[in-house]
Structure 1
Amino acid sequence: MADAVGINLRSFTGKMKILHLSWMAFFITFLVWFNHAPLLGMIAKSLNLTSDQIKTLLILNVALTIPARIIIGMLTDKYGPKISYAVLLFASSIPCFVFALSDTFMQAAIARFALGFIGAGFVIGIRMVSEWFPANELGTAEGIYGGWGNFGSAAAAMLLPILTLYFIDIGLGGDDAWRYSIGLTGVLCLLFSFIWYFNVSDTPKGATYFKPKTSGAMEVTSVGDFFLLLLMKIPLYAALALLTWKLSPSGIDMISKSLSLGIYFSLLCLLVFEIKKTWQVNGHIFNTPVPDIHRYSFKQVAVLNILYFATFGSELAVVSMLPLFFSETFSLDIVHAGFLASLYAFMNLGSRPVGGWLSDKYGRKKVLLILTFGLALGYFILAQLNGEWPLYLAVFAVMLCSFFVQSGEGAVFAAVPLIKRRLTGQIAGMTGAYGNVGAVVYLTILSLVSYQTFFLVIAVSAVIGFIAILFMSEPKGAMAEINADGSVQMINLG
């Protein structure tokens, strides 16, 4: 599968070129996705936003990523990572420019909602990296991809406030200088769509890119898994319904009661349609059992979904609110608050690769248990944090918690590509979508409770994730995939 044994970060050829370009693409998606978070104070002043409108922008920013990751996962499996990432980067630059030019809350809200789609880019790289690296290097490679790419949110928090102040100093924009900073991230996104397309290929030369047998719904291989798949779809729609409620007259009154009722009805119709498509793709298993060699356990996917809800869901929520939290709790200006908040995401550079490496070395299940325990403990500590804490101790607690959060993410996606190769995009899409479900749930809770209660809720959900891991099986042996000529190829999982 790979042109050389081992991972040499100084190399920019073969599989290492693919890895570096993949994390760069992912980095840019997160830079664009969170380019507003450290500048919220200036944006609010420029657009005359209320506190509720600011929190609404945070929720809208992660909402569309829920269905987007499912859709992008299917498209990646069908068309390949090369074209999928290129199109996503190109298209996402448009709402980025729209947000930079927005003059009203409604314009900014629509642009932020559309930008949620760029958060689906992560799924594409997971499939790309899994095509180029063997199983014994995959956790580390996916960890580097996820960790270094995820650093885009930290880069936004660290660099964009400084860049914006530079524009102000040279007399460019004044109170609207934030528009130039956000617009530049859109230019970078647009340019890299071409760099990506002309420098990657979906697989190493001579390797087969396995595609799903059918499209429109995820394949499962047992009757029990069919019903578990349907069960796991419900939280995806529930999160979108929760968002609708938040925007309705019962929440911040951004949309009318009739429109919110229409959205509820549309979500119900979509759920019924998706159940129908799932039956069309998988109904045959009720009459003809799938041979053991071609089976995979969807239970594995369900457990990883729950874990990503707690890990990446909490990271998205915390990255979105942390600059404001530091500013309000410790009375800091936007530059210092943004810099300290960026340390949470800064940990991605090492933490996520460490989670993947530990999984490669010591096993997926054991590592997930340890990291999830640390995750729960970390958020229990943050729930005690207030303005009476020394600032250095608060920052240390945040960074300690982030280590377990991001290492846990790395461990989750060290397991995802080892479930079923041809479905990797869809599995990564669903697991990734659960991260966004977590973010919507956590941010909605944040809009209703104190910061301390917010952290406590995340800690409790991590405990639930710990219990779920007990039902997980360690990936081992080999998975079977079918070549175009009908022959069976065994892919080693160890």
Structure 2
Amino acid sequence: MEIPVEEYPKRFPLPVDSEHKATEFRLLSAAPPHMRAFHLSWLSFFTCFVSTFAAPPLLPMIRDDLDLTATDIGNAGIAAVSGAVFARLAMGTCCDLFGPRLASAALVLATAPAVFCTSLAASPASFLVLRFLTGFSLATFVSTQFWMSSLFSPNVVGTANGVAGGWGNLGGGATQLIMPLVFDLIVLAGAGKFTAWRAAFFIPGLLQMVSAYGIFFFGQDLPDGDYSQLQKSGEKHKDSFDKILSGALTNYRGWILALTYGYCFGVELTIDNIIAQYFYDRFDVNLHTAGTIAASFGLANLFSRPGGGMLSDFVARRFGMRGRLWTLWAVQTVGGVLCVLLGKVGSLAGSVAVLLVFSVFVQAACGLTFGVVPFVSRRSLGIISGMTGGGGNVGAVLTQVIFFRGSHYSTETGITLMGVMIIACTLVIMLIHFPQWGGMLWPPSDGATEEDYYVSEWTAAEQDKGFHKATLKFSQNSRRERGHQFIRSDPSPNTYA
């Protein structure tokens, strides 16, 4: 028989599966808890992106005010994305232990003061420190992906993750338009340029505070309630940190996805940091034009990353997990080729055209990645998400240190070499293999089942206590990842009940 779907239980406005995860994704709905959490999460992530990348579009003014050198600017850009490396790992742990609602609201609220204080920066060192602290807010990406994976069924989880992540990433492009506009309005009001750029930082700070309170008061961790409520009632097992950490660190698939994500999302972060100044310096365009071009890259997230998530779900319907992996490899590799080409094109029009096409592929690869992540682990989903997300930031840091720090390479050469790195690092996707579904190059292992894979995360003693039972529901719902091998008949006897 088909995987059971509950058609509109009394307390849910959307159809749900046996875990009460939504089996449909209705973008225009704000129905609680599924779609309300979706909108709260992407809006919060959006504001954090606006804050973290509020400085680059105003760098020509900030550079003159604080006497920043090229090295100072490069270091500040690295600091902005390196701050989230460990924050994302910590966020994954917090999501596993306390739930995405509290974890997300706390981080967004805690990093808002750093955004406000950027207006007080008086030296290159203080500017760097404040960008570093603001960058911690990018860890909300992990809570966003964790939250969507907790609320949406496997058949639409790629779409939910892709749209939430993509629309959140829009903040990286929107800030390229928002901050110059706010700056211009403040100047028109009579302020000097050095005063205007400082005052402009109050806008992203206020946006963060509003989104944090929205999540805290209106969000819900899981379809059936918040973590604290479900743990008190005994409906949810309160897990231990050492067990979920061990489960994540010993799953090699998480490490591979962290590496490959470093060269799709990490590249996106790098482009957000360098592209406005690149067009401003190389093609001699004005600040507004450079910001508009840079914004076009980030704003492609409106459809590109969501498109990647949707594509992942689409190919999985016929080809299962193997289809998800093949599509991720192909799309990210094409993105690498386009990145190489971007560094080689010498005309303004050609560079803009390649940038736009490149943005679609590199951002779609991000969506495709998080079409795979929710299936790597159930018990350690938060840390696996954090490892993958943190890998994106590590990739951004390494790329900027190697290719865009100081004057060792010209920016165009750095972009070309970054494309080569994308192509090379994407090859390791071929090593990912799920016993129950297979991988790019190898079929499934004989006799392997979803229950075998996910229940193995629990010890025999824990299974005796029934801690694994929630995993059984996910195992059943994830049989769709067999693709065309999925037989709509009674499932094999469950030996773990």
Whether these two folds match at TM > 0.5 is: yes
| Displacement after TM superposition at 1:56 (Å) | 1.5
How has the CA–CA distance of structure 1 residues 73 and 3 changed in structure 2, closer, same or farther, with 3 Å as cutoff?
A: closer
Query: Which residue does the alignment assign to 1:43?
Result: 62
Q: Is the 8 A contact 1:383 1:454 kept in 2?
A: yes
- Flag structure 1 segments of 5+ consecutive residues without an equivalent: 227-297
Offset at residue 302 of structure 1 (A): 2.1
Q: CA deviation at 1:454?
A: 1.1
Task: Count matched residues.
Answer: 417
Local SS of the residue matching 2:220: coil
- Against the structure 1 CA distance between its residues 173 and 184, is the aligned structure 2 distance closer, same or farther, given a 3 Å change threshold? farther
- The two structures have a TM-score, normalised by structure 1, of 0.80
Q: Is residue 353 from structure 1 mapped to residue 334 from structure 2 by the alignment?
A: no
Which residue number in structure 2 is paired with residue 319 of structure 1?
A: 272
Which of 386, 397, 401 is residue 429 of structure 1 equivalent to?
A: 386
Q: CA deviation at 1:2?
A: 4.3
Which of 370, 391, 404 is equivalent to 2:330?
370
Q: Say if 1:457 and 1:488 are closer, same or farther in 2 by CA, change over 3 A.
A: same
* Cα pair distance change 1:50/1:137, threshold 3 Å: same
Which residue pairs with 1:410 in the alignment? 367
1:461 maps to which of 421, 427, 436: 421
Query: Which residue of the partner structure matches residue 469 of structure 2?
Result: 488
TM-score by length of 2: 0.80
Alignment of structure 1 residues 210-249 onto 2, 5 Å:
212-215=239-242, 218-220=245-247, 226=250
Within-5 A mapping of 1:32-431: 32-205=51-224, 212-215=239-242, 218-220=245-247, 226=250, 298-362=251-315, 363-386=323-346, 389=347, 391-431=348-388
Three-state SS of the structure 2 residue aligned to 1:331 is coil
| Matched-pair contact (CA < 8 Å) for 1:212–1:423 | no
More deviation in 469-478 or 82-91?
469-478
Work out whether residues 368 and 408 of structure 1, in 8 Å CA contact, stay in contact via their aligned partners in 2. yes
Q: Is the 1:304–1:431 contact (alpha carbons within 8 Å) kept by the matching residues of 2?
A: yes
Asked whether the equivalents of residues 46 and 176 of structure 1 are also in contact (C-alpha less than 8 Å), the reply is no
- SS of the residue corresponding to residue 420 of structure 1 reads coil
1:464, distance to aligned residue in structure 2 (A): 2.0
Q: Match of 1:214, as an amino acid?
A: F
Measure how far apart 1:323 and its partner are.
Answer: 0.3
Shift of the 135–5 alpha-carbon distance from structure 1 to 2, 3 Å rule, reads closer
> What do the CA deviations read for 1:352-386 (whole angstroms, capped 9, x no partner)?
11111111111311211211221121111112023
Partners of 1:211 and 1:119 in 2: how far apart? 27
What do residues 91-142 of structure 1 show as CA deviations (whole Å, max 9, x unaligned)? Answer: 1111111111212222212111211211111001111111110001000000
Counterpart position of 2:409:
449
- Distance in 1 (alpha carbons) for counterparts of 2:238 and 2:349: 50
The one-letter code of the counterpart of 1:43 is I
Change (3 A) 1:3 1:442: closer
Deviation at 1:216, TM superposition (A): 8.4
> Cα–Cα, structure 1 residues 216 and 381, in superposed 2: closer, same or farther, change >3 Å?
same
Displacement after TM superposition at 1:209 (Å): 5.3
Note the aligned Cα RMSD (angstroms).
2.0
Runs of 4+ in 1 over 6 A off after TM superposition: 481-484
Find the counterpart in structure 1 of residue 37 from structure 2: 18
Contact 1:93 1:189 in 2 (8 A): yes
- In 1, Cα distance between equivalents of 2:237 and 2:160: 20
Asked whether the equivalents of residues 158 and 310 of structure 2 are also in contact (C-alpha less than 8 Å), the reply is yes
Q: Report if the CA contact (8 A) 2:342-2:415 is conserved.
A: yes
1:422 is matched by which residue type in structure 2?
Answer: R
